[in-house]
Structure 1
Amino acid sequence: MLDNKVTIENNDKHSLVGVWQMVGYYNYLDNKVSDSFMSSDTYKQIKIYSPNKVMWSRLNKQDSTDWFGYGNYKTTDSTLVETIVYGSNSMNKAIEKSNEFHFELILNENTFNQIELDENGDRILAENYIRIE
């Protein structure tokens, strides 16, 4: 359940509303960064957040598979939950299993990290973004 008080306090500090570009990934081992990968001109991902909606698209020039998604999102001071309503054919196959994606959220004024956790709550992978608008 989303705690509105926490969300309002978080949104007063920083907000996801805007346009974000992924700058890279972190892979984790034992909750520590084990390696990282930077985005490039051949691999890009953009996320756009309105006050309640999210849309994202990915370009991977080395792969002909299209990836995009659209849906709703909610945040607390440390979590991001995206509920994807529809997307590309590849994404639609993924959301048939589950359309709700839970992440640990580290949000600053012009950067954010969405971190995937395993069933034990350990970090697996982070997508790292910068605000571009």
Structure 2
Amino acid sequence: MKLKLFLFNIVLLLVLSCNHITKDEDTTVANTSKKLNSLKGTWELTGFYNYKDDVVVDSFDRNPEFRQLKMYTDTKVMWCKHRAADSSEWFGYGTYNYDGDKLTEVLDFGSEVMQEVIDEKKKFIFELDLYPNKFQQIELDEFGNRIYSENYVRVE
């Protein structure tokens, strides 16, 4: 009888300990997923979508002679654009936040060309579709309809 009780307790402990490991693994997977769905990192522009009635009607890749990168830290954003055929500089720096499906960037300063834009408008609000290794920032019109998106992939 004592042997049966002893074996029962051993089996029960094994079952409970296996269940505990599964919960820890689930927590680790959930935390990893949250980290992957973060804007923090470096992103490169890959292309654009044009929308009509909130549906993609056209898409095109970026010109191979044109590069645009965005870098996000915990609270800061910086982007730069390079066009081999254009000597003007394009960059901007500021803060950002996002809450689910909305990205807000507030630029503090930028290149000479961009500073003219910043002097008129500092705050840029986009709809955000964020995935672990890509995202789309979608420009909306005054009625909340999608106009176009810039599409990025994670490079770091």
RMSD (Å), alpha carbons: 1.6
1: CA distance, partners of 2:69 / 2:137: 13
Structure 2 unaligned regions, length at least 5: 1-30
The letter of the residue matching 2:75 is N
1: CA distance, partners of 2:87 / 2:53: 33
Structure 1 residue 63 displacement after superposition: 2.8
Aligned residues: 124
Percent identity between the aligned chains?
A: 45
Question: Residue 42 of structure 1 aligns with which residue?
Answer: 65
- After superposition, give the CA deviation of every residue in 1:61-87 in whole Å (9 maximum; x if it has no partner): 233322100000000000000000000
Give the number of the structure with larger relative contact order, counting CA–CA contacts within 8 Å between residues 6 or more apart.
Answer: 1
Structure 1 unaligned regions, length at least 5: 1-8
Higher Rg: 2
Q: TM-score, normalised by structure 2?
A: 0.75
Question: Residue 140 of structure 2 aligns with which residue?
Answer: 117
Q: Give runs of ≥4 in structure 1 deviating > 4 Å.
A: none
Structure 1 residue 123 displacement after superposition: 0.4
Matches within 5 A, 1:56-75: 56-75=79-98
Question: Residue 30 of structure 1 aligns with which residue?
Answer: 53
Q: TM-score, normalised by structure 1?
A: 0.88
Question: Residue 23 of structure 2 aligns with which residue?
Answer: none
Greater helix proportion: 2
